C-alpha cells in the first residue's frame, strides 16, 4: 500500500512537472502588447538583444524551478513519513530526552538536517544559475556560510514553534490550532520587531548611509512626507549580487528603510529619491501593519484548515503514513506538508494584496517627487540588473509576483506623465 501510494504520488508529480515545463518554456510567453512596442515600457528599447535573451532564459528557468521545487519538498516530507524515517527520528528523540520540549528540539534537528541535505543540490543549482547569468557574484564559501546561518536560524525558530505546537496538541487535541494562533500573534510581532537588529545583521553589515549629501536629500524628502526619520541604512550587498533593492523592514521604533549599496552604485540621486519615496509610501500608508494583520488572519485560517486536514489524514491514512496520533511528533512532516501546500495555493491572494500596495507606493512616490522621468529610468535599470521578466504569463504573475510586472509599472508612471503634460499644455 505504501509503495503504491508513493508510486502514484511520483507519477502525478512527473506529469505535473512535464505540464509546467510545456507551459513555461513553450506556451507561457509574455508578449509585449502591440500598443506598447517601441515605448519606454518595451524592454527592447532599453535592453540589448543579448540582455533580452538572457532575461528570457533566466526567467523561464527560475519560474520552472519555483513550480517544481515546492511540490518536491512535499514529496520529501511524504517520503520521510512513508519510509519510516519520521518514526525513527521520534524514537531517537524519546531515547535522548524525557521532556516533550527537548524531544521536539531533537526531532526538529534531524528533520531539518535531512531536508537541508536533500534540497542542497537544488539550492546549489540556483546559486550556480545566478552566477552564470551575472546576477550573483558571491563566493562559494560566503554562500555556504549563509546557508549554515539559514539552517541555524531556521532550526532555532522551528524548534521553538514546533515544541510549542506539539505541547499544545498534547494538552488539547481539539483546540490546539486556536491556542497556537493566539500565541502566534505576540510571537509574530516580536520577530518583526527584532528582525532588523538581531536577525538581518547575521547575514549582512548595516550602517547609516555614508553619502551624507544624499542622506540629507532623503531626510528632507522624509520631512516633506511627515516621516520622523534620523537615518537611512545602507547594506553591503555588492560582494554578493549585482541586483538592486530597497525595502522597509521591522515595526515600531525598530523599523528601518534600507538601501542596498548596489542601488547606490547604479542609480542617480533622482532615481534613488524616487525609490526612497516609494518606500516612504509603504510607511505612510501603514502597509507593514496591514501586512502583519493580514498574516495573522491567514494564520488563523491556515491553522484551522491544517488541524482539520491532519485529523482527516491520520484517520484515513495513518497506517500508510506511519502516524498513530496527530499529537505524536512523528506527524510533523505531515504538518509541514499541509502548511506548505496551503501557503502555496493561497499565494495568489496574498500576491494580489502585495501588488496593490506596491502600486499605491508607486503612486505616492510620483505624487511626492513629481519625477516621472526618474521613475521610468529607475524601473528600467532595476529590470536590467535583475534580468526581470517585464510581462510574465498570467500563471507566473499570480504565483510569483509580489510587485506589479515592470511593464505595468513603467507604463503607469509614463502614461500619467503624458496625461500631466497634456493637461499642462491645455
Determine if residue 370 is left, alpha or beta; phi over 0 gives left, psi from -120 to 50 gives alpha, anything else beta: left
Beta carbons of 255 and 196 less than 8 angstroms apart:
yes
Mind spelling out the 3-state secondary structure of 275-309?
HHHHHHHHHHCCHHHHHHHHHHHHHHHHHHHHHHH
Determine which one of 90, 234, 362, 371 is catalytic.
362
Helix and strand tally (H, E) in the chain? Answer: 15, 4
Residue in the block written with cell 521536539: 104
Q: How many residues does the chain have?
A: 426
Task: Single out the residue of 261, 264, 280, 282 nearest to residue 272, CA to CA.
Answer: 264
Determine whether 213 is an active site residue.
no
Q: Which of 246, 232, 235, 253 is nearest to 189 (CA)?
A: 253
Cβ atoms 63, 21 nearer than 8 A: no
347 vs 337: CA distance, rounded Å: 15
C-alpha closest to that of 66 among 412, 416, 393, 425: 393
Rounded Cα–Cα distance for residues 133 and 297 (Å): 39
DSSP class of residue 210 equals S
Has 372 been labeled as part of a binding site? no
Measured distance CA(159)–CA(167) in Å, rounded: 12
Which ranges of 195-331 does DSSP label H, i.e. alpha helix? 212-224, 261-266, 269-284, 287-321
Q: Three-state SS for 204?
A: coil
Instruction: Report the distance separating Cα 42 and Cα 385, nearest Å.
Output: 16
Residue 36 and residue 407 in contact, taking contact as beta carbons nearer than 8 Å: yes
389 is in an annotated binding site: no
261, 279, 371, 389: which is the annotated catalytic residue? 279
Alpha-carbon distance 257 to 247, whole Å?
A: 6
Q: Is 282 annotated as a binding residue?
A: yes
Task: Determine the Cα–Cα distance for residues 405 and 426; give it in Å rounded to an integer.
Answer: 32
Known catalytic membership, residue 362: yes
Q: How many CB atoms lie within 10 A of CB 3?
A: 8
Beta bridge partners of 136: 241
CA 266 to mean position of chain CA atoms: 24
Residues making up the binding site for Zn(2+): 278, 282, 358
Residues making up the binding site: 278, 282, 358
- By annotation, the residues acting in catalysis are 279, 362
Amino acid at each position: 500500500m505504501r509503495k503504491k501510494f508513493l508510486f502514484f504520488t511520483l507519477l502525478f508529480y512527473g506529469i505535473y512537472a512535464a505540464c509546467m515545463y510545456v507551459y513555461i518554456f513553450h506556451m507561457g510567453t509574455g508578449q509585449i502588447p502591440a500598443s506598447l512596442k517601441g515605448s519606454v515600457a518595451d524592454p527592447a528599447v532599453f535592453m540589448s538583444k543579448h540582455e533580452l535573451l538572457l532575461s528570457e532564459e533566466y526567467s523561464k528557468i527560475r519560474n520552472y524551478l519555483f513550480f517544481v521545487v515546492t511540490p518536491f519538498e512535499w514529496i520529501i516530507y511524504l517520503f520521510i513519513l512513508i519510509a519510516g524515517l519520521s518514526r525513527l527520528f521520534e524514537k531517537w528523540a524519546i531515547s535522548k530526552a524525557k521532556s516533550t520540549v527537548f524531544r521536539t528540539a531533537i526531532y526538529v534537528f534531524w528533520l531539518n538536517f535531512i531536508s537541508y541535505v536533500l534540497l542542497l543540490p537544488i539550492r546549489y543549482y540556483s546559486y550556480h544559475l545566478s552566477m552564470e547569468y551575472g546576477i550573483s557574484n558571491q563566493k562559494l564559501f560566503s554562500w555556504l556560510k549563509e546557508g549554515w546561518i539559514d539552517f541555524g536560524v531556521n532550526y532555532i525558530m522551528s524548534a521553538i514553534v514546533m515544541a510549542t505546537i506539539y505541547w499544545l496538541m498534547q494538552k488539547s487535541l481539539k483546540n490546539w490550532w486556536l491556542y497556537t494562533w493566539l500565541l502566534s500573534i505576540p510571537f509574530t510581532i516580536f520577530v518583526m520587531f527584532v528582525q532588523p537588529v538581531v536577525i538581518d545583521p547575521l547575514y549582512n553589515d548595516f550602517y547609516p548611509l555614508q553619502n551624507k549629501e544624499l542622506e540629507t536629500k532623503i531626510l528632507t524628502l522624509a520631512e516633506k512626507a511627515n516621516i520622523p526619520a534620523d537615518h537611512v541604512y545602507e547594506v553591503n550587498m555588492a560582494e554578493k549580487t549585482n541586483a538592486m533593492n530597497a525595502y522597509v523592514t521591522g515595526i515600531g521604533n525598530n523599523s528601518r528603510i534600507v538601501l542596498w549599496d548596489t542601488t547606490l552604485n547604479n542609480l542617480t540621486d533622482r532615481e534613488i529619491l524616487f525609490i526612497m519615496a516609494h518606500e516612504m509610501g509603504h510607511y505612510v500608508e501603514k502597509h507593514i501593519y496591514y501586512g502583519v494583520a493580514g498574516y495573522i488572519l491567514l494564520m488563523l485560517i491556515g491553522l484551522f484548515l491544517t488541524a482539520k486536514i491532519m485529523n482527516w489524514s491520520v484517520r484515513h491514512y495513518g497506517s500508510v503514513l506511519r502516524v498513530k496520533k496527530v499529537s505524536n511528533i512523528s506527524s510533523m512532516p505531515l504538518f509541514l506538508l499541509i502548511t506548505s501546500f496551503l501557503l502555496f495555493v493561497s499565494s495568489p491572494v496574498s500576491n494580489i494584496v502585495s501588488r496593490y500596495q506596491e502600486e499605491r507606493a508607486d503612486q505616492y512616490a510620483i505624487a511626492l517627487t513629481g519625477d516621472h522621468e526618474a521613475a521610468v529610468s529607475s524601473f528600467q535599470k532595476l529590470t536590467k540588473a535583475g534580468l526581470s521578466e517585464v510581462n510574465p504569463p498570467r500563471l507566473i504573475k499570480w504565483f510569483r509576483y509580489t510587485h506589479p510586472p515592470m511593464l505595468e509599472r513603467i507604463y503607469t508612471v509614463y502614461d500619467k506623465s503624458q496625461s500631466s503634460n497634456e493637461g499642462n499644455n491645455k
